[in-house]
Amino acid sequence: VSKRFSKGLQFQGSYTFTRNLTDAQGYNPSAFASEAGGLVSDLTHPGIDYGNVAYSRRNRFLATYLYQLPFGRQGTGGGVNGLVNRVIGGWELSGVLLFQSGPFLTVTVPGADPSGTGFPLYIGSGRADTVSGVSPYSANQSASGWLNPAAFAVPKNNIGRFGDSSVGNLTGPGTQTVSMSLMKTVKVKEGIGVQVGAQGANLFNHVNYAPPNTVYNTSAFGTISNVQSAEGAGPRVIQATARFTF
């Protein structure tokens, strides 16, 4: 949805629903796959590694806007004198709204060799088994417990298969951030102006957790040790700005 600038307002908003599956990213994707793909569990059965593309987002809403506040001579108070107009007029409010679901994640477990092929012991870990009927998420999700350890198990060695926990079968924490700026431009004379204002990233200081640890059978499994930083999702930051143009 897009609105061109008129009457002091413009905005653009978009919603994206993603259904993105592949077997080209390998047994444990930790980033978007390159052209060469990832490390495959079994070259003769690539479907074993079929699943959601790592770090893609199922749902994403993004909106931007710009609004010239209707104060001063351009709006209410149109009869004010020049000095008052310079104080209350010329303000612009703009911002970015971002709301999206979390990235897709894969659970691994170190030291197990259920296929009996030695894969992937030489790189440290393969995928875990799942426990039927148990939610993979903690009842009260938090940084100290995002995933439910009871939903997974260490597969036995030499049982002729790989761990049945599929690629991208979990969803990490989503993102909610509102960033905003309030700016005012004062024209001193032809070719000379002053711009002052303030900008705030993640204005409401919503905690956007980073993905949890996904290595099963370790003490850190399911816990979160960091927050997101991209797209203004980190801790709230407010800064004042001033610019003199000539």
Predicted local distance difference test score (pLDDT) of residue 122: 65
The chain-wide mean pLDDT, for the chain, equals 90
DSSP lists the bridge partners of residue 185 as 195
Helix H, strand E, coil C: the string for the chain is CEEEEECCEEEEEEEEECCCEECCCCCCCCCCCCCCCCCCCCCCCHHHHCEECCCCECEEEEEEEEEECCEHHHCECCCCCHHHHHHHCCEEEEEEEEEECCEEECCEEECCCCCCCCCCHHHCEEECEECCCCCCEEEEEECCEEECHHHEECCCCCCCCCCCCCECCEECCCEEEEEEEEEEEEEEECCEEEEEEEEEECCCCCCCECCCCCECCCCCCCCCCCECCHHHCCCCEEEEEEEEEC
If you search the block for the tokens 């143009």, which residue do you land on? 245
Please, is 204 exposed, middle or buried when counting C-beta atoms within 10 Å of its C-beta (0-12, 13-18, 19+)? exposed
Predicted local distance difference test score (pLDDT) of residue 119: 78
What φ, ψ does residue 92 adopt, rounded to 5°? Answer: -125, 130
Q: What angle do CA 206, 209, 214 make, to 5 degrees?
A: 165
Predicted local distance difference test score (pLDDT) of residue 72: 63
Confidence class of residue 75 from pLDDT cuts 50, 70 and 90? low
Predicted local distance difference test score (pLDDT) of residue 138: 95
* Nearest Cα residue to 243 out of 200, 208, 192, 203: 192
Q: Is the pLDDT of residue 93 over 90?
A: yes
Confidence class of residue 209 from pLDDT cuts 50, 70 and 90? very high
For 246, residues 6+ apart whose C-beta sits below 8 A from its C-beta are 191, 192, 193
Q: What is the pLDDT of residues 148-169, one digit of tens each?
A: 999 999 999 999 999 999 999 9
* Contact present, 85 and 72 (Cβ < 8 Å): yes
Confidence class of residue 133 from pLDDT cuts 50, 70 and 90? very high
Q: What is the pLDDT of residues 96-127, one digit of tens each?
A: 999 999 999 999 999 899 998 887 766 668 99
Predicted model pTM: 0.84
